[in-house]
Structure 1
């Protein structure tokens, strides 16, 4: 019999098999080097598989679980590359200081990548919710790895456990209400119609979106992210800032499809976007910790992304594609540089004032950090400038003038705290030293160099960059149901 379709997308299949192999490896023979090598190899193979899409064989028209279109493959590739970067940053750090737990650390990282990847391929509430919970449980374990050195890790994990549980309950209740209205678990935002619809339908949409916005850390659902990122180790803080946001945002776009937001949510969406942009940037002004500042920065960038999501039109696809890439490269680059200053005992230079004089002691890292901060601020010649320009173009096309005003005000506020870090790095100070050994520095330097290259190449040659990664928006429900190959 000729098999003309698959049940799981290739990247998800590779991740699932790799996770089971890693679990078996941990059970049979503990070896931190073997565990990290197997985990990294799994991520690399899964990334390669995103370039070989295959048709998904549905169970039935109303029981579709996954769909592998260009949007899913693109966001999955971003997640897998980000997770690979976190693996590289964590390798020496974990194997040196936590040798007995390195196997579980690698397994949890791979599980987190599996959960996030499941979300981007999901077109059904069931695998989507399972992906959310797999990622959440993995994050709880990863955050607590720092509790052996400080109580902040345990406290952060407890906060995330409680708040994540509440948000998951809200999300699950919304899914139940949606099923009661439509009789299907397939993503279909017409739960609330494109009119107000029934009270139950409206409540279902609001509760599902509330759960999604919590995972995105959009204001006012952001209260967890600052403490959780500060309590986690530096690589895991970078993981939290990037991987869950890509997965959840991809699912959010899939949930709405290419259709505009239903009318009864217009004012709510606008308010959340404005609060997220201004709230994230204003919170950043109050921070003395670089990790907490980056957490606030991630909140603000979610707001910028939501402008593109809220502005369907000619620019929407390019905007979301470019901005996700720009945010991922700059954020991972920043955390890679922070990781270079973590001592063998796990102590890190978390205060912003600790970065004084970096240009005089470590010029390469200073230049790289400047590139990352300028990209996050949206200053040329970095990729962040064109990404933010596309955001403005998409909002202007839909005449979202209030949102564009929030974008401008938020960007001006962000300039202050980003440029303040650059100012401190140019102030003479000879006491700044890298805490890791030369082998670790070489690994981190290589990672930082590649990410810096992406930031500058994307800024200098944006058209080349866009042509190489240009995927379409997610298919609508009708399109992906029609494109499925029927069962033999």
Structure 2
């Protein structure tokens, strides 16, 4: 069962064409400069195509495998911009030879986009595995770096395990519904039928492994520490955005306010991730591991938004994803601008050594901590409003308490940068392109926090329910129900 090509958003064929062009370029003559130009041109052209004329699905909705709706368009924009930031960070950092690095980056981005828009189990799984296999190659790309091999092996084992669990859950879901629609099976309550209950639990377990939510998080700090900085950013930002978008689409037709098993599991994982991620980051001396813990905690905050359906739930999650992407990408870019310094001790005295770089890093950290005037403050406030509207009292208390814990380790890095310059410090430098990236992300993080109205309007436009496509008995869907537009 296939969908017509006319139903695909233009960004997917553009990415496929860019990948083919980059492969031909590598076969002709190796050149990192040409490779990054092709990669960035492909990503920005795909981003521009999100505003192309509306594409609709003709025919019966049974044949729909991919829904390019407003949710996909918004998430695709974040994914493409985050991947472009990773590509800029990788300039003269990817390794030798560097051409295949950008090829793997484009392949991973393609997999992330497929995940974000798929409503079919098979298509979703193909996108997930495309992303996972690309990440495996990216993590191990530095052949002379022993930690990269170790990180890649850990990722390979746990990614394979989580994919097997997820696939088993999807098989049980198909056995229950007789449909390949990527949607949570209906549960009657906490003691609902065993088969849909097991299917949902296994699918969530597989997705939580990929999202590194607590207690499935233990692989993330080791993998991010061993991976190159651009790849660590890709794992923490691009893959997390795609996975959360898929999770939101999986529960598009479920009533998460109802006290059933899936809602309880999501709530428990949300609380564990908020506290577990912040406590994990609390004692870290390595910035990559600290940002890994931060990433886990932010998954918990996003789950609170997902569990707060209503006038603010999906909109607050979308806003938070943008804030998280800008601040986390900026933090990794600042690390790359400091010659890859990942030990917090190496950042001592940075306000005196590189004041502009230290200021940019401070902006990213206060945004992640949720301190005004950065965008992170408004993003976290938006999620609190969503939680209050849904009366998620326990989750709100967990968010506030865990955020207080997070203040310590974020501000501890800022404090270290304000210390006197150590005698054994070494010079730090970055590429001009990376400096432009850091500056742009710092400006966006501040201005979007001071003037969030435009982004709020964009996210409020996503309040229409995501398309729910379950069984073959559905009536035909009108084109305007499954379109994406500006």
TM-score (normalised: structure 2)? 0.92
RCO comparison, higher one (Cα < 8 Å, 6+): 2
* Aligned equivalents of 1:485, 1:327: Cα separation in 2: 31
Cα shift at 1:470: 4.5
Tell me if 1:404 matches 2:381: no
Which residue of structure 2 lines up, in the alignment, with residue 126 of structure 1? 122
What are the Cα deviations for residues 217-270 of structure 1, in whole angstroms up to 9, with x where unaligned? Answer: 100111111111000011111111001100010011111116422612232222
* Aligned equivalents of 1:314, 1:264: Cα separation in 2: 24
Tell me if 1:374 matches 2:366: yes
Which residue of structure 2 lines up, in the alignment, with residue 311 of structure 1? 308
CA separation of 1:413/1:310 partners in 2, compared to 1, >3 Å: closer, same or farther? same
CA separation of 1:485/1:269 partners in 2, compared to 1, >3 Å: closer, same or farther? closer
Contact 2:185 2:200 in 1 (8 A): no
Consecutive unaligned residues in structure 2, runs of 5 or more: 482-486
Tell me if 1:237 matches 2:232: yes
Which residue of structure 2 lines up, in the alignment, with residue 155 of structure 1? 150
SS at match of 2:7: coil
Which residue of structure 1 lines up, in the alignment, with residue 42 of structure 2? 42
Tell me if 1:328 matches 2:320: no
Contact 1:44 1:80 in 2 (8 A): yes
* Aligned equivalents of 2:255, 2:12: Cα separation in 1: 29
Contact 1:6 1:54 in 2 (8 A): no
* Aligned equivalents of 1:445, 1:233: Cα separation in 2: 18
* Aligned equivalents of 2:132, 2:146: Cα separation in 1: 20
* Aligned equivalents of 2:58, 2:240: Cα separation in 1: 27
What are the Cα deviations for residues 348-385 of structure 1, in whole angstroms up to 9, with x where unaligned? Answer: 32211111111111111111111111100001111100
* Aligned equivalents of 1:26, 1:468: Cα separation in 2: 39
Tell me if 1:214 matches 2:209: yes
Cα RMSD after superposing both structures: 2.1
Contact 2:253 2:468 in 1 (8 A): no
2:142 to 143, 146, 162: 146
Cα shift at 1:61: 2.6
The correspondence of residues 315-464 of structure 1 with structure 2, limited to 5 A, is 315-342=312-339, 348-429=340-421, 432-436=425-429, 440=431, 442-464=432-454
Which residue of structure 1 lines up, in the alignment, with residue 222 of structure 2? 227
* Aligned equivalents of 1:384, 1:458: Cα separation in 2: 9
CA separation of 1:218/1:397 partners in 2, compared to 1, >3 Å: closer, same or farther? same
Contact 1:234 1:335 in 2 (8 A): yes
SS at match of 2:449: helix
* Aligned equivalents of 2:18, 2:223: Cα separation in 1: 28
Quick check: which one's helix share is greater?
1
* Aligned equivalents of 1:273, 1:10: Cα separation in 2: 35
Which residue of structure 1 lines up, in the alignment, with residue 484 of structure 2? none
Consecutive unaligned residues in structure 1, runs of 5 or more: 343-347
Contact 2:200 2:262 in 1 (8 A): no
Tell me whether 53-62 or 445-454 shows the greater mean CA deviation. Answer: 53-62
* Aligned equivalents of 2:53, 2:329: Cα separation in 1: 27
Contact 1:181 1:191 in 2 (8 A): no
Tell me whether 24-33 or 160-169 shows the greater mean CA deviation. Answer: 24-33
* Aligned equivalents of 1:224, 1:53: Cα separation in 2: 42
